[in-house]
Amino acid sequence: MSKSTNKKKIDTYVQEIESLRNSGSFRRLRVIESTGTPYATMEEKQYLNFSSNDYLGFLSRPELQQAAIKATQTWGTGTGSSRLVSGSLKIHQELENLVAHWKGTPSALILNSGYTANTTLIPVLAGRHSGVFCDRLSHASIIDGCFLSRAKCHRYRHNDMDHLKWLLNNHPYSAGRVIFTESIFSMNGDEAPLGELVRIAKDHDTILVVDEAHANGIYGAGGAGKVEEYGFEKDVDFQVGTFGKALGSFGAYVACPHKAKELLVNKCRGLIYSTSLPPSVINVNICAVHLVMAERTLREDLIQKSLNLRSWIQEKLIQTCGGASQIIPLILGKNKKALFWSEELLKERIFVTAIRPPTVPEGTSRLRISLSALHTHDHIERLKKVLLTLAQLETKMTYAGSRKI
């Protein structure tokens, strides 16, 4: 490539960055010196952290830290290859058996992250002549999985089951169809109508996949998620979930029937072409699943706190999205507005990230308040106080899609 072509390319990057800055969409990496809940430290200052998916405070649990150390000492720091070559250790299998038991499915497969799971599961389930039907607010990993599969992707209006049925009735595919939903939506914190989805999938003879990324660890008698809570283990064909959020670790699983696992082992590129998760991570995941099953009070306490804060926000500030989960969005509309609120909160030593497009739809930039079981009454009161002050500062403003603050 000639020097002038290179220069042109760099100029294009500069322009792109400038346009991101001008529209309030520019993102930068913050250096976090210590993380977790309830506190994160940045530039030597401690912030009350409402930005983390560490919903149960597991990042700092000594049992999990010990599990990582023990596994490293026993097995070493890595696995040296992908599962199919020589990287399938006994503890991978132990975790898979445990996850299958926890999720109430015949089998389970461990993958390297939730992103990998979705992007490489969908191409196994759907191909060029199939259709994938997913919610308009689906996580990027689901959308990317659809692209990679080369299937036709139909996105129904958020949680609109009539729209989904209409799409299914009008788009038959001889090679098969897949409905893909999150059980708790990552940026809205609201819930998919799982009962209706199960019925629709049955009526239309369609595979149903449920991503429990923000539900596992919290819902259901054993903390396995919304599928467990409603008893749909036999109705949902594939349950996907991550260990990276409530379970305080890393990695993901697909819980499914035995034959489906065999197919994935043979065809899922995320498993075949990537080094398997290290023993430390696998052992932390084993320990985290056991802890979740035992920590019912912690989970129930989080759900109650979430309900209280959500109803306070609805009453005093602004309409949030529906649902009752630990993810509470404060939809402010414009990018710059969301950034302003986030910066003002930082000045008060409270960390709530502004979430902007393309993560959320245009005009719905928001503060995504993420509650943890480790947030105390006083922490939440501190947050409320600053939010009220900010709202009073802007009483005259109307935000997109919401009533006046």
Ligand X SMILES: Cc1ncc(COP(=O)(O)O)c(C=O)c1O
Tell whether residue 190 is a contact of ligand X (CB under 6 A).
no
Q: Which is nearer to ligand X, 113 or 335 (CB)?
A: 113
Tell whether residue 276 is a contact of ligand X (CB under 6 A).
no
Tell whether residue 155 is a contact of ligand X (CB under 6 A).
no
Cβ-contact 50, 346 below 8 angstroms:
no
Which amino acid makes up residue 126? A
> C-beta of 196: minimal distance to ligand X in Å?
19
The verdict on whether 159 is a catalytic residue reads no
Identified binder of ligand X from the candidate list 36, 145, 222, 244, rule CB under 6 A: 244
Q: Which is nearer to ligand X, 113 or 326 (CB)?
A: 113
Closest CA to 70 of 242, 281, 248: 281
> C-beta of 205: minimal distance to ligand X in Å?
25
Tell whether residue 405 is a contact of ligand X (CB under 6 A).
no
| Alpha-carbon span 293 to 302, nearest angstrom | 15
User: Vertex 160, ends 372 and 185: CA angle to 5°?
Assistant: 15
The verdict on whether 214 is a catalytic residue reads yes
3-state class (DSSP) for residue 187: coil
Q: Which of 96, 211, 212, 229 is catalytic?
A: 211
| Alpha-carbon span 159 to 104, nearest angstrom | 25
| Alpha-carbon span 400 to 332, nearest angstrom | 7
Identified binder of ligand X from the candidate list 79, 119, 130, 186, rule CB under 6 A: 186
Q: Which is nearer to ligand X, 212 or 295 (CB)?
A: 212
Cβ-contact 176, 130 below 8 angstroms:
yes
For residue 258, how many C-alpha atoms fall within 13 Å in the half-sphere facing its CB? 1
Q: Which of 245, 305, 334, 375 is catalytic?
A: 245
The verdict on whether 205 is a catalytic residue reads no
Strands 107-111 and 131-135: unpaired
Q: Which helix (H) or strand (E) holds 254?
A: strand 252-256
**Mask for 113-152, x = binds ligand X (CB under 6 A):** xxx--x--------------------x-x-----------
The verdict on whether 63 is a catalytic residue reads no
Q: Which of 118, 186, 285, 342 is catalytic?
A: 186
Tell whether residue 327 is a contact of ligand X (CB under 6 A).
no
Cβ-contact 383, 48 below 8 angstroms:
yes
Identified binder of ligand X from the candidate list 252, 277, 309, 350, rule CB under 6 A: 252
Tell whether residue 248 is a contact of ligand X (CB under 6 A).
no
Identified binder of ligand X from the candidate list 182, 229, 237, 295, rule CB under 6 A: 182
- C-alpha distances (whole Å) from 80 to each of 67, 284, 301 are 20, 19, 41
**Mask for 191-220, x = binds ligand X (CB under 6 A):** --------------------x-xx------
Tell whether residue 288 is a contact of ligand X (CB under 6 A).
no
The 39-42 sheet, strands edge to edge: 39-42, 45-49, 350-351
The verdict on whether 96 is a catalytic residue reads no
The verdict on whether 211 is a catalytic residue reads yes
3-state class (DSSP) for residue 149: helix
> C-beta of 353: minimal distance to ligand X in Å?
12
| Alpha-carbon span 30 to 120, nearest angstrom | 29
| Alpha-carbon span 347 to 341, nearest angstrom | 10
Tell whether residue 374 is a contact of ligand X (CB under 6 A).
no
What is the contact surface with ligand X in residues (CB under 6 A)?
113-115, 118, 139, 141, 182, 186, 211, 213-214, 242, 244, 252
